[in-house]
Amino acid sequence: MSPRHAADPAREERAAVITGLGLTTALGGDVPSTWRALLDGVCGVERVDFEAPEGPAQTYLAAPAAVDPKSVLSSAKAAHCDRSAQFALVAAREAVRDAGFPDASSLAAGGSRVAVVVGVGLGGLTSVLEQNRRLETRGAGRVSPRTIPVMLPNHPAAEVGLMVGAKAGVHAPVSACAAGAEALTQALGMIRGGRADIVVAGGAEAALHPLALAGFARLQALSRRLDDPKG
């Protein structure tokens, strides 16, 4: 918005408020447990070992999820989703409840226009690598028919969109570490601009894989304090 428009009283923006929160992190599987751990100074970083096909096992510092999303979602839903989408669904479901809705399907009740914006960095990386392993070791006939949907960056956003019945737009900004923040900004713009009444927004990632960690390590973007990861 230009300064001229910002000062124009005729172009009033709609108010936008955050009514519900949802999290699943290395510190906890929901908002209360994560917040408690933060206040207690808990560190979610730990040593993670991966067996290497050739050479010694590799050890990295990483922050695994405190709660496996497969233990929260139904087995059928978890089996059809990449891990990044599993995290998005768990957090979105908590946010919906925290906002006072009895269930996800009730967001669109009463004619509300519902949208979703979920940002990712790498998206379905682990699913892509797993299906490529199947292709190379077991042949094309063993590749999952859901390979294409789960490898797309908009997969987490699409799954959340289906869960809440979004009809005002389902978007997936892909901007590395800024993806989640960009999603919130885009959601704010949709509310203020009148394009949606409710927007479920946030970020999701699931890149705890030897390839991703090796890449970050080669960039010298990972801590090397293997002897004291929580220090």
In SS3 terms, the chain reads as CCHHHHCCCCCCCCCCCCCCCCCCCCCCCCHHHHHHHHHCCCCCCEEEEECCCCCCCEEEEECCCCCCHHHCCCHHHHHCCCHHHHHHHHHHHHHHHHCCCCCHHHHHHHHCCEEEEEEECCCCHHHHHHHHHHHHHHCHHHCCCCHHHHHCCCHHHHHHHHHHCCCCCEECCECHHHHHHHHHHHHHHHHHCCCCCEEEEEECCCCCCHHHHHHHHHCCCCCCCCCCCCC
How distant, in Å, are the alpha carbons of 62, 63, 89 from that of 36? 20, 17, 22
Q: What's residue 57's pLDDT?
A: 81
The whole-number pLDDT of residue 5 equals 41
Say if residues 158 and 165 touch (Cβ distance below 8 Å). Answer: no
Contact of 124 with 84, CB cutoff 8 Å: yes
Contacts of 200 (CB under 8 A, 6+ apart): 92, 95, 96, 107, 114, 115, 116, 117, 118, 160, 164, 166
Per-residue pLDDT of the chain (231 residues; tens, 9 = 90+): 334 444 454 557 788 999 999 999 999 999 999 999 999 999 999 999 987 666 678 899 999 999 999 999 999 999 999 999 999 999 999 999 999 999 998 998 878 899 999 999 999 999 999 999 999 999 999 999 999 999 999 999 999 999 999 999 999 999 999 999 999 999 999 999 999 999 999 999 999 999 999 999 999 998 888 887 776
Amino acid identity, position 117: V
The CA distance from 173 to 156, in Å, is: 11
- Residue 168: count other Cβ atoms within 10 Å of its Cβ: 17
For the domain 19-218, what is the CATH superfamily, name and number? Thiolase/Chalcone synthase (3.40.47.10)
Instruction: For the chain, give every domain's residue range.
Output: 19-218
Beta bridge partners of 46: 62
